[in-house]
Chain A
Amino acid sequence: MVKKVIEGQQAIATGVKLCRPKVIASYPITPSTHVPEMLSKFVANGELEAGFINVESEHSAISACIGAQATGVRTFTATASQGLALMHEVLYIAAGMRLPIVMSVANRALSAPINIWCDNNDSMAERDTGWLQFYCENAQEAIDLIIQAYKIAENKEVLLPAMVIIDAYNLTHTMEVVDVPSQEDVDKFQPPYKPVYAYLDPDRPITQGSFGTPEYYMEFKYSQQRAMENAKKVIDDVFEEFEKIFGRKYEKVECYKTSDAEIILLCLGSMSGTAKEAVDRLREKGIKVGLAKITVFRPFPEEVVEVTKNARVLAILDRNISLGYTGVLRTEVASAFVNLSKRPLIANFIVGLGGRDVTLEDFYEIVERKIPEFKKTKRLVEWINVKGGA
């Protein structure tokens, strides 16, 4: 293990290199472009033995990954925002064909207006595609979760593709100190890829991507749902194994000072770091506040209920908006409580769309002013730090 000062994209590229994929197909998009740049350099100078396909679109990037993975090799692609949206239909197919492709996503706002900065709407829109989703708080998590994502995705009880998601700029372009695992340790953790069922081989001809009539289609979807269920335990096991080798502990929902908290903030991504700082400072003022950070969003981490149910208020911060309703995390987390009689009041705050900073002051505003108000008004959703808004 070596400590290096690297940016989030470099952490992603380094993690990918350590996992030795054989085919990488990628198309440039801000702010994810450093990932393919670095990987193509690794290939060019012989640090990584892989085929690099400079595709002509993100749609073709994910399609080429499907072709390569279905032939029998480990693959990787990276994208963001509009690129992820362009992949949309193919994402369902990668999952439906049970191909454990790993992709990094730089969380960037969707047009219009065009905007290259951070929010989660791009990856939240792919919630239902059948991909595992891992959200990172920092560059260390980015490198670690890439390595773990391959192992989880390729487990034969899972066989689902995985997205490792980092915030635009806040993570993609921010230099941080990262413990870079050694190749030796990663090789121990991550054996070479061996396709289990579906691979294209003239010695064993099979048909992949067949036509599923109403008589069979549901069973295909049911098997994907079961794979998602299986993933819950596999994720815990892989996190545990990772901790043993690399000494860093991951949880689907990370709790920070929640055990006695009356107010629990819930969010994901880089703002979790700011949230932890806010929790510390608010506690100095005597406010019992904690943070629940979502690391695994698909499969949905039902643990979130157990760790937040004793709070009086669960304040969900969404860096995304399902227009016409609330933030996506709110609808997801609130629905997990629906059959419980004892549950916290659930408040929802929309923050930081299109890269607007989410600051300590925003957290103070939410905890000290908005939550007391909310206890009376019970407003479904509130927008924070928006000009001329609520």
Chain B
Amino acid sequence: MKSVIEEVELLAPGHRMCAGCGLAISTRLALNVAGINTIVVLPTGCLEVTTTQYPETSWRVPFIHVAFENAAAVASGIDVALEMMGRKGINVLAIGGDGGTFDIGFQALSGMFERGHRVTYICHDNEAYMNTGIQRSSATPYAAWTTTSPYGRYSIGKKKRKKPIGIIAVAHDIPYVATATIAYYEDYQRKVKKALSMDGPAFIHVLVPCPTGWRFPPDKTVEISRLAVETGVFVLWEVEGGRMENLKVTVKPKKRKPVEEYLMPQRRFSHLFKPERRQDVIDKIQRTIDEKCERYGL
């Protein structure tokens, strides 16, 4: 197995992310592929506040943060400026959270796709607004607890399913869209490399488990990431040329595990198991996954 992280880390240690944070692992993996000729654009979020506290910075590549909803627009400006300056071979890498991508930054993202900028946009999806204290986003999965989708007599947690951001990205007819997660780092890094080689927008939806928000011990991050794929909760695929018929599943679990194995270790789903077991809800989640996996040929 080849070395995953180069000797020189482009994301310096000493940042303020939580122990076991999936963002740190994902960012290191992506930067390692992108290399030093990269300009990084971040919207507001966990990764931004934990790495750029003045007068320190964790970024050994040029970095810019502007606001919450506009990373894709800022990246568009950088792309065109580089072109006008005649600077070639510089990657423009935007890295947003699910809030800054699925929700408040969605319009800017869609615009950036439509205009065809040479920007690789990585969405770190930890399935809620973690930076502000675990509030529900449109990436939060069905039945998950968050501080604004609490369970109670009249609530099972998040009421609706997750927004299919990857498929929405494909519908923009852009050169490359993929999903990835940190447990499958070779798959992830290959996809980052491919995305950066495109002459146009590329989008990678990365599932990054959050020990603080998903309520699991910090040494289980990679394990949860792997379970998401093994249970079919998160399918690893890529689509080139904006055509769904080109969709290729890149990691196929040998035998799909029941979703319960993914839900059980995360206390954001604990209300499905106690005080009484909500088999109806667990079955509903399982059925949804089964239907999805059938579509993907899993």
Contact = CB atoms under 8 A, between A and B. Distances in A.
Interface of A: 22-23, 25, 49-51, 53-57, 59-61, 63-73, 75, 89-90, 93, 97, 200-202, 204-213, 216
Given A53-B80, A56-B111, A72-B81, A89 B53 contact: no
A85 B251 CA distance: 47
A104 B120 CA distance: 31
A389 B64 CA distance: 51
A56 B107 contact: yes
Given A51-B80, A59-B108, A207-B57, 11 more contacts: A23-B80, A55-B76, A56-B111, A57-B107, A59-B69, A64-B73, A68-B78, A71-B77, A93-B66, A209-B64, A210-B57
Interface string B51-89: 011110101111111110110111111101111110000
A67 B59 contact: no
A53 B65 contact: no
Interface pairs A-B: 5 shortest CB-CB: A67-B77, A56-B111, A64-B77, A60-B73, A51-B80
A386 B57 CA distance: 57
A63 B73 contact: yes
Given A23-B84, A56-B107, A67-B76, A209 B69 contact: no
6 contacts: A23-B80, A54-B115, A64-B77, A210-B55, A211-B54, A216-B55
B49 interface: yes
B108 to A, nearest CB: 5
Contact of B67 (A72, A90, A205): A90
Contacts of B115: 53-55
B62 A202 contact: yes
Contact of A212 (B41, B54, B84, B110): B54
A63 B108 contact: yes
B287 to A, nearest CB: 37
Contacts of A213: 53-54
B64 A70 contact: yes
B114 interface: yes
B36 interface: yes
A205 B77 contact: no
A67 B74 CA distance: 4
A67 B81 contact: yes
Contacts of A73: 81, 84-85
A93 B67 contact: yes
Contact of A64 (B61, B76, B107): B76
A201 B75 CA distance: 14
Contacts of A204: 62
B142 to A, nearest CB: 30
Given A56-B114, A60-B73, A63-B70, A211 B78 contact: no
Contact of A59 (B37, B48, B70): B70
A274 B12 CA distance: 62
A68 B66 contact: no
Given A71-B81, A90-B67, A64 B74 contact: yes
Contacts of A54: 115
A50 to B, nearest CB: 7
B200 to A, nearest CB: 15
Interface residues of B, number: 43
A315 to B, nearest CB: 41
B38 to A, nearest CB: 7
Contacts of B60: 205
A209 B66 contact: yes
Nearest to A205: B62
A90 B80 CA distance: 19
Contacts of B49: 211
A77 B76 CA distance: 14
Given A53-B76, A54-B115, A73-B85, A60 B108 contact: yes
Contacts of B65: 208-210
B39 A25 contact: no
B90 interface: yes
Contacts of A53: 76-77, 80, 115
Given A208-B64, A208-B65, A55 B73 contact: yes
B62 to A, nearest CB: 4
B76 A202 contact: no
A322 to B, nearest CB: 26
Contact of B62 (A63, A90, A200): A200
Contacts of A97: 66
B48 A211 contact: yes
A22 B81 contact: yes
Contacts of B76: 25, 53, 55, 60, 64, 67
Contacts of B82: 71
A71 B85 contact: yes
B77 A202 contact: no
A55 B66 contact: no
Contacts of A65: 77
A206 B56 CA distance: 11
A67 B75 contact: yes
Interface in B263-280: none
Contacts of B62: 200-202, 204-208
Contacts of A70: 64, 74, 77-78
Contact of A90 (B37, B39, B66): B66
B70 A60 contact: yes
Contacts of B38: 202
A25 B74 CA distance: 11
Contacts of A212: 54
Nearest to B10: A205
Contacts of A63: 66-67, 70, 73-74, 77, 108
A67 B73 contact: yes
